[in-house]
Structure 1
C-alpha cells in the first residue's frame, strides 16, 4: 500500500509536469473504486487549469481552478504521467489529457483507491476534516502525541497509525520508527512517557524524510508519477524481516499481529 512517502514522492514527480497546464480532455473508463468515481467528473475536469499539487496524509490533492481532485491510492493505485501512453489496460480507471499531449493515467488493479471531486475547500471534505497533524509539520510534537494517546490502553503502534493522532503514518513506517525509538509495537499507550513520545516523534520524522529522499518503498509494483521505483525497502530494519537477525544486536526478530497487520520488532532493542 502506498504510504505517505510514496504519495509525497508521486506529488513531487508530478507537480512540475502538471502545474500550470490545462486539462484538455478527461475520460472515466471504470468508475468502480472504493467509492464510485462521480458520473460527471469527466465534464467537470475538461478545461480545468492545474494550479498546484498538495498532499494531506496519504491523499494527493490536485488543486484546480474550480475545485480539488482528491486521489487516494488504496492498496495498488498509481498515477502516472505518460508522454507516449500505451494502449489502455484493464485496470486503468481515469485518464486526463493535458494541453501539451501528456496523459495522466490512474491505474488500480484492486480498486481500493478513490478519485473524488470537491468544489469546496478540500480541507473541509469528510475524508480530510478529521485528520490529525502532519508528521512532518510543526503541529506534530512529543507533547501533542503524548496528550492524544496517554489516557488510552491500546497498543502504541495502533495509536501511531490512527490518523486522528497523526496523519498518514502507515504500517511500514510505524514499524521502522518504533524500532528506531526503541519501543515495542504492543506497548500500551498509558505506559508511554512524554520523553518516549518525543523520541518517537523524532524517529517518525527521520524515517519519513529518509524514505522520501529514497523515493519511497517499492515492495511489489509501486512506482512514482514518472514510473521510477523507490529504494527505501533496502533500508528497512524490521518491516518484513521476521526471524532474521536484528541489524543492531543480532537477535532474531519476532512478529505479532496488531489490528490485523503484522508487526516485526526486536525483543532486545525494543522495550
Structure 2
C-alpha cells in the first residue's frame, strides 16, 4: 500500500503534469471509489483547474481553482497516470481530459482507493480525525502521543489518528533501524528508545521519499530490501523472521531487535 513516501512521489508527479490546465471532460469508474455521488464530482471538476497540491500522510490533496479540493487515497494499487494519447489506461477509475487534449487517469486495479471532495486539507483532516503528518511531527508531540499508551509500538506507529503517513512497510523499517522489537509495548519503552524511534521516523521517511522521487534504490542496510522470511539480515546478524503484530504481517531481525521480557 502506498505510504507517505509514495504519496510524496505522486505529489511531485502531479505538480509536474496536471496543474493549471482547464478540465473539459470527466469520465468516471466504479462508484465504490467515490465517497460522494459521482455527479457531484462531475459538477465540481468540470471547467475547473488544479492550482496546486498538498499532502497529509497517505492522502494527496489536489487544490481546485474553485470548489475546494479533490482528495486522493491510493489504496493498495492506485496511482495517477498522465498521457497525451487517446487510449484510456486499464483500471482507470477517473479520467480527466484537459483543454490541451492531454489526460490524467486515476488507475486502481484492486479498487481499494478512494476519491473525496472537501473544502480544504484542514477541514478533511478534522472530519476524518487524522493525526499529525509524520514528516512534520515534532519530538515533543511524539513523546506526548506515547504517553499513557499500552499497545505495541508498531500498532501505534500505524495508527493514522495519531500519526499520519506510516503504514506496515515503513513501521517495520523504522523499528529495524531503531533496533526495537515491533511487539514491544509502548509503556515498556525507555526514554532513549523513544527518542531513537522519533529520530528514525524522520530519517527513514526522508530517505525513502528521496529514493521514490529520484527513482533510486533503498540502502542495502534497510530491511525493506529483504522483506522475506528467512532472508539474511541486512546487518548480517542472522535471519529475518515473520510474525503478526497488531494484525499485520511483520518482518524483523530477532538478533537486532531483541524482544523485551
Q: Offset of 1:181 from its aligned partner? A: 0.7
Q: For 1:129-168, what per-residue CA distance to the aligned partner results, in whole angstroms no more than 9, with x for missing partners?
A: 522221211xx23332222123222110000111122111
Whole-angstrom distance in 2 between the partners of 1:172 and 1:149: 20
Match of 1:237 in 2: 223
Deviations 1:16-67 (A, max 9, x none): 2222222122111332327465332112201112110111110110000121
1:191 and 2:188 matched: yes
Question: 1:37, 1:115 within 8 Å by CA — same for their partners in 2?
Answer: no
Question: Distance in 2 between the 1:15 and 1:193 partners?
Answer: 42
Output the CA distance in 1 between the equivalents of 2:193 and 2:34. 37
Unpaired runs of at least 5, structure 2 = none
1:247 corresponds in structure 2 to 234
Runs of 4+ in 1 over 6 A off after TM superposition: none
Deviation at 1:108, TM superposition (A): 1.1
- The runs of 5 or more residues in structure 1 that have no matched partner are 217-227
Q: What's 2:254 paired with? A: 267
CA distance in 1, matches of 2:257, 2:153: 12
What pairs with 1:124-163 in structure 2 (closer than 5 Å)? 124-125=123-124, 129-137=128-136, 140-163=137-160
Higher relative helix content: 2
When the two structures are superposed, what TM-score results if normalisation uses the length of structure 1? 0.86
Deviation at 1:262, TM superposition (A): 1.0
CA RMSD of superposed structures (Å): 2.3
Q: Aligned partners of 2:116 and 2:134: how far apart in 1?
A: 24
Cα 1:44–1:234, aligned 2, differ >3 Å: closer, same or farther? Answer: farther
Q: Offset at 1:212?
A: 1.3
Output the TM-score relative to the length of structure 2: 0.89
Which of 242, 254, 258 is matched with 2:245 structurally?
A: 258
Q: Any idea what SS the aligned residue of 1:204 has?
A: helix
In 1, distance between residues paired with 2:34 and 2:50? 25
Counterpart-to-counterpart distance in 1, 2:146 and 2:15: 35
Structure 1 pair 19–87 and aligned structure 2 pair: CA distance change class (3 A)? closer
Report the secondary structure of 2:9's partner residue.
Answer: helix
Q: Describe the SS at the equivalent of 1:39.
A: helix
The correspondence for 2:167, drawn from 166, 170, 192, is 170
In the alignment, does 2:18 pair up with 1:18? yes
Task: Name the SS of the counterpart of 1:48 in structure 2.
Answer: coil
* Residue equivalent to 2:112: 112
**C-alpha separation between the residues in 1 aligned to 2:80 and 2:220?**
23
- Verify the 8 A CA contact 1:34 1:112 in the aligned structure 2: no
